[in-house]
Every structure is written in C-alpha cells, then in structure tokens.
A and B are shown apart, each in its own frame.
Chain A
Amino acid sequence: MKYQVVIGLEVHTQLTTNTKIFCGCSTRFGSSPNSQTCPVCLGFPGALPVLNQKVVDYAIRAGLATNCSIAPRSIFARKNYFYPDLPKGYQISQFDLPICLNGHLDIEVDGVKKRIGITRIHMEEDAGKLVHADVAGIGDDSCVDLNRACTPLLEVVSEPDMRSPDEAIAYLKKLHEIVRYLGICDGNLEEGSFRCDANVSLMPVGSSVFGTRAELKNINSFRFIKQAIEYEMERQAEILDDGGKVVQETRLFDPNTGTTRSMRGKEEAHDYRYFPDPDLVPVIVDQAWIDQVRESLPELPDAKRARFTADLGLPEYDVEVLTASRELAEYFEETLGLFPQAKTVSNWVMGELTRALNDDGKEVTESPVSPAQLAELLKLVEKGTISGKIAKTVFDEMYKTGKKPEEIVAEKGLVQVSDTSAIEAIIDEVLAREAGQVAEYRSGKDKLFGFFVGQVMKASKGKANPGVVNELLLKKLQG
C-alpha cells in the first residue's frame, strides 16, 4: 500500500543565558564535572528555585518571532519520573499553561510554500548527563555530571503538519535560523544546544486519520533527522504491509547504522503526574512587557531576505548567502552603509572576505578587516586609486596585518597608474620586445590583443589602469 508520512517535531533549544534557569550557576559548556552546581540544581532538599527573568524575555522573543500569542499568565509544573540524571526526581517544566501558544512558521520546499503550525513553546530545565566515563574501580557503574542540570531550555512543539522529511528539515532549518537571529540559542547541534525529537506516523494515502506514531530521539544533525525519518517510514510501512500494528513507543536513532531501535521499558514512565510547582509563582506577562520585547527584536531572516531582494536588487543567490547568519548580514549592511553599491559589496563579502575567513577558520565577527575598512578599500577602487585586481592583494594584506588600505597602498607603492605617458612607455617597451607577435596581430590575428594587455599589466606589476591600457594599446597597434 502507499502511505503518507505525518511528522510533528519537538525541538529543545538551549538558551544562551549566563546562568541557569533557577539558580546563579554558570551554563558554560565543557567545564569539569559538577563544578557548576549548587543546592538548587543539585536538587538538595529545601533549596528554592528562582526564575531567571532573561529566560522569560527569551521565551517571549521566540514566541513573537514564531507568531505565537504570549500567555498573560503561565505557570511551572513538575514532571515526575526517576532517572539518575534528574536529581530532584522531577523536571520543572510547563504543562497546561505554557508561555507561548498557537504560532506558525512558513516554509518552502521545491518552490511550494506551506504553513507549519506551532502548538506551544514552553520553558523548562534541562537534566544532567549520565556518562559512561572511564574511571578506574567503578566496575559497571555509571557517572553523573550535573553541570547541565537546570540549564534553561525552550521546547518548541509543532503541529503534526509536515508530510515529508524535506518539509521537516525545512521547518527545522527555519527555526534554527530564527533562534540564532534572535540571539537566544547558539544553535550548536553537536553540543546539544538544538535538539530534535520527531514524531513519525504513517497513514494510507488519501486517509485523514493519523496512524500510531513513534517518537524518535537522539538526533543531532539535520542529515540524521532526515535519515531517521526515512528509516522509520520504511520500518512502519513494512509492519503495516504485513498486517501488523505500529507500537507507540520511543525509539533511539543510531547514527552508526542509520536505524532506530526501541527504548523498551520506558512506557510506564510516561505517566508523569504533572502538577503545579509550588516553589515557583505564576509568570504574569503584561502588554508593556511584550511591547518592550517586540521593540528589541532584530529584523528576522524572512524580512531581511525580502528587503535585500526588493530594495537592494540583489540576486537570490547573494540574498541566501548574505542572510545565512545574522552576523554576516550585519557585516554586509554595515559596509553597505559606507559604500552604497549593493552588488559590489555583496561580491566582496561573499568572495574575498568569506574565503579568507574560511581559510582561517574564523567567524565573521572575528574578521580582522572591519566593515569600515572594507568600505575604504572599495572607495579606493571606485576613485581609481587602485585597480580591482590590486584591491585583492591589498585585501589580503589588510586581513593579515589589520592595517588600513591607504596605508598598504602607500607602503607598497600600489597606486594605480593612469598617467598616459607612463603607460605609453611601458607599452612601447612591450611592443618592441614582442615584435614578432605585433606583426602577427597586424596581419589579422586579433586574438593576440589580450596577450598584449596581459604583458603590459604584468610589466606594470598590475598597477596600470586597465581602461587606459586598452585604449592606448589599441591606438598603438593600429598605428
């Protein structure tokens, strides 16, 4: 039988606050085990969790950026289960009154636009980490590191609106881009700052009744998410074709085999017995607070793309590259503010700058060439002080030394030569040396013109103004 896949996604984004959601411990990644802990995040009896206000700010940001309504009143609840990485025996989360509700994101797959519903976004704390560390003398025991316990998360729950793995990926990439633009999550999938669980089910094509779903966990790259969903579609189709029933269960993705396997025995634990956490008082968000956050929102990727296309007239490719991260877009715009020729700036940012940064393994925010310096360089080209070709040499030097373009041009004597008599002298020299080629050219081998231009440019060490060279050379050769 032919089946239609139905996908809903739950994304956990780790927030880039300095401190944890309910205590003042650091959220830094990769510190030595249990060094970032206190009575609150260790779950010691009697410790009182107090909500980090920035987490609420970030949640409102995420909600506004994903078209959610912000709940005027939301509360925290305890989600009860036992696991060694959860010191309190419950996770503080939100249940029936989350902070954000009923949003959506618009995606596009193969030119087809689609709206994906967002059911809710809620605030919660992360658990610690269960590690199978190589510690001598512990036998079969496991180790627990609670540095991550109590780290703030936003869980973004989508509607089961996606109908292909590609739609799922498009939605995830969009959400990923937004949280990074908002500056609320670093988006690092490998370190677990952006984690995705996928609910996948099949129904016969044409049906509107969803099948039983499996929840796929432990997927930490976009490629793996696609792989996991595709594997799950095959697995469920086989079961259904054989007349079997898909079991509702949690399945773990194994990146080594590209398959999913059942996490047996976790089913009863799904009875979480949520109830309001008496330690944490209700969060009341008034319109003034929402307005204040709304004003602080950066321009979001879709709006930026539309503006770059419509107002700057940039090609689609340029727009995609430049808006891939907020930082790159900001670098571009800052340069553009000082040198208002969009396509030229775009070429340089996508070309020389990106190449140099990639070679160097640096982020655009760490660029040794500032937007102001790049704009200065482009002005030198525009004024004819240096040629476009020399500009690339100057750029490399700027990148290496952090010096200003004028300084480099002066130091290295790279000023473009536009003086006709100087260029004429070089041309004469070249033509005298290449007498044979000149004769050939004059007997009709027009193609040699490029050769002469090249030779003259070389003799001038790239400094001759190519326009002037062309003009004079033509005159001389015809002469």
Chain B
Amino acid sequence: MKITRAEVEHVARLARLELSESELDTFTVQMDGILAYVDKLNTLNTDGIVPTSHAVPMENAFREDTLKDSIGVENAVANAPKHAESFFRVPKVIE
C-alpha cells in the first residue's frame, strides 16, 4: 500500500473536504493506484540530475517596483459572499 485510509482522511481534512465512508474507501484505492503508477519513476537512475521544480524552461521573470492602480474597494469586494463597508466579512475564527 502506498497510502493508508487514515492518510487520505488526514489530507481531506487539511483540504477541508468532507468525505463519506464509502468515498474514503474509493479514494484510498484510487490514490493508491495513482501513487503506484508514479512510483515507476523511482526505477530510473536520477544520479546527478537536478530535481525539476518547473515544467517550463524559464527563469528570472521580474517586474519593476513601480506602482499600478489598484482596482478599487468596490471591485475588490464585489464578488465576496459578504462584505461590511469596505471589509470582507467572514465568520469568526475560534482559536
């Protein structure tokens, strides 16, 4: 097994996904299959190869430190489910 049911449950919770018992079973099997497939890469000899972080061969894409207009408060909050005056409004987080 590449992944356990408990791990799937844990990752789901981190992603704020609520999975039913049967979904947990299904996804554990599916993810195990995916990981086993990807695991084939481990059979390759990768000595001396720099780990790939990006799929595009590009580097140093920068912008200058010059101001651009912001989009304005109205536009900023326009798509928010809730807003209060110029703030986004969210349920209180309990710590």
**Residue of A at shortest CB range from B73?**
A34
Q: Which B residues are in CB contact (< 8 Å) with A146?
A: 76, 88
Contact A32 B73 (CB under 8 A): yes
Quick one: which of B48-95 are within 8 Å of A by CB? 53-56, 58-73, 76-77, 82, 84-95
A147 to chain B, nearest CB (A): 9
Contact B66 A144 (CB under 8 A): no
- Contacts A131-B87, A144-B87, A144-B88 known; A52 to B71 CB distance under 8 Å? no
Contact B53 A75 (CB under 8 A): yes
Q: How far is the CA of A146 from the CA of B76 in the complex (A)?
A: 10
- Contacts A18-B66, A51-B62, A263-B95 known; A268 to B87 CB distance under 8 Å? no
The residue from A42, A56, A271, A276 contacting B76, defined by CB atoms under 8 A apart = A42
Q: Mark A12-52, 1 if CB is under 8 A from B, else 0.
A: 00000111000111100000111111110010000000111
Q: How far is the CA of A69 from the CA of B87 in the complex (A)?
A: 42
B1 within 8 A of A: no
A80 within 8 A of B: yes
Q: How far is the CA of A269 from the CA of B14 in the complex (A)?
A: 7
Q: Which A residues are in CB contact (< 8 Å) with B2?
A: none
Contact A281 B70 (CB under 8 A): no
Contact B68 A25 (CB under 8 A): yes
Q: How far is the CA of A130 from the CA of B89 in the complex (A)?
A: 10
Count residues of chain A with CB under 8 A from any CB of chain B.
Answer: 56
Q: Which B residues are in CB contact (< 8 Å) with A450?
A: none
* Residue picked from A17, A97, A141, most chain B C-beta under 10 Å: A141
Q: How far is the CA of A130 from the CA of B94 in the complex (A)?
A: 12
The residue from B55, B86, B89 contacting A35, defined by CB atoms under 8 A apart = B86
Q: How many A-B residue pairs have CB under 8 A?
A: 138
Q: How far is the CA of A142 from the CA of B88 in the complex (A)?
A: 8
Q: Mark B21-32, 1 if CB is under 8 A from A, else 0.
A: 000000000000
Q: Which B residues are in CB contact (< 8 Å) with A137?
A: 84
Contact B63 A282 (CB under 8 A): no
Q: Which B residues are in CB contact (< 8 Å) with A23?
A: 68
**Residue of A at shortest CB range from B57?**
A281
Contact B93 A84 (CB under 8 A): yes
A140 within 8 A of B: yes
B16 within 8 A of A: yes
Q: Which B residues are in CB contact (< 8 Å) with A97?
A: 53
Q: Which A residues are in CB contact (< 8 Å) with B90?
A: 84, 130, 141-144
A273 within 8 A of B: yes
- Contacts A52-B63, A142-B93 known; A38 to B68 CB distance under 8 Å? yes
**Residue of B at shortest CB range from A263?**
B95
Q: How far is the CA of A133 from the CA of B94 in the complex (A)?
A: 16
A264 within 8 A of B: yes
Contact B67 A56 (CB under 8 A): no
Q: How far is the CA of A34 from the CA of B77 in the complex (A)?
A: 8
A288 within 8 A of B: no
Q: How far is the CA of A186 from the CA of B30 in the complex (A)?
A: 52
Contact B66 A24 (CB under 8 A): yes
- Contacts A37-B70, A38-B68 known; A141 to B76 CB distance under 8 Å? no
Contact A281 B63 (CB under 8 A): no
A14 to chain B, nearest CB (A): 14
Q: Which 6 A-B pairs have the closest CB atoms?
A: A24-B68, A143-B87, A53-B62, A144-B88, A276-B53, A54-B65
8 A–B contact pairs at CB < 8 A? A32-B86, A51-B63, A53-B64, A84-B93, A141-B82, A141-B92, A144-B87, A271-B14
- Besides the known contacts A50-B61, A133-B84, A143-B87, 20 further A-B residue pairs in the complex with CB atoms under 8 A apart: A19-B65, A19-B66, A19-B67, A24-B69, A25-B68, A34-B87, A38-B68, A52-B62, A54-B65, A75-B53, A137-B84, A141-B82, A142-B93, A143-B90, A144-B88, A146-B88, A265-B95, A280-B61, A281-B60, A284-B59
